[in-house]
Every structure is written in structure tokens, then in C-alpha cells.
Amino acid sequence: MFKLLKRLIFFTIIALLIFFAISLWRGGEPFRWFGKQSEKAGEVIKQKSEDMGQKADRIKKTSEGIKHTTKKLKSGIKKTHEKIEDFTSSEPNKE
């Protein structure tokens, strides 16, 4: 447990030193670049999520159409089956 805590503190100190070294050497430009790249990535993610949402809507509409068609076919088959049963189960006229 203490080794983990010691390593976390060590890595935090190293990260802070690197941050200050980059800040002194290059100024804020690398951090601005990272921020701009993050914004671009956010725009791409937003666009892709919109595209995925539209595709999901199309899939949902298609599946609802398939459900509706399946229900119609099921009721049609049921009616046809009832008609066939009525036709085959009727007793012949004995005259």
C-alpha cells in the first residue's frame, strides 16, 4: 500500500516538473494546441454521434415496419387457417 502511495506521489511530482519545464521553455502554446485539438475531437465526436443517432432512428423505423408487417401476416395466416378449418371440418351434405 505504501509503495503504491509512494509511486503516485513520485509520478505527480514528475508530472508537475514536466509541466513547469514545458511552460518555461515553450510558454502556453503546447497547452493551447492541446485545447484546440480537444475541440476538434469534440466536434468530430459530436458529428459522429449525430450520424449514429440518425442511423439508429432509421433502424428503429425499419424494425417497427417489420413488426407491423409481421402482425398483418400473422393475422392473415390465422384467418386463412380458420377458413381452411371451416372448409375441411364441414360435414358433407347427405341427400
Give tens-digit pLDDT for 24-46.
888 888 888 888 888 888 899 88
Task: Give the predicted TM-score (pTM) of the model.
Answer: 0.47
Structure confidence at residue 9 (pLDDT) = 96
Helix 29-89, helix 2-26: angle, nearest 10: 120
Rounded Cα gap, residues 9 and 6, in angstroms? 5
pLDDT in tens, 43-63: 998 898 888 888 888 888 888
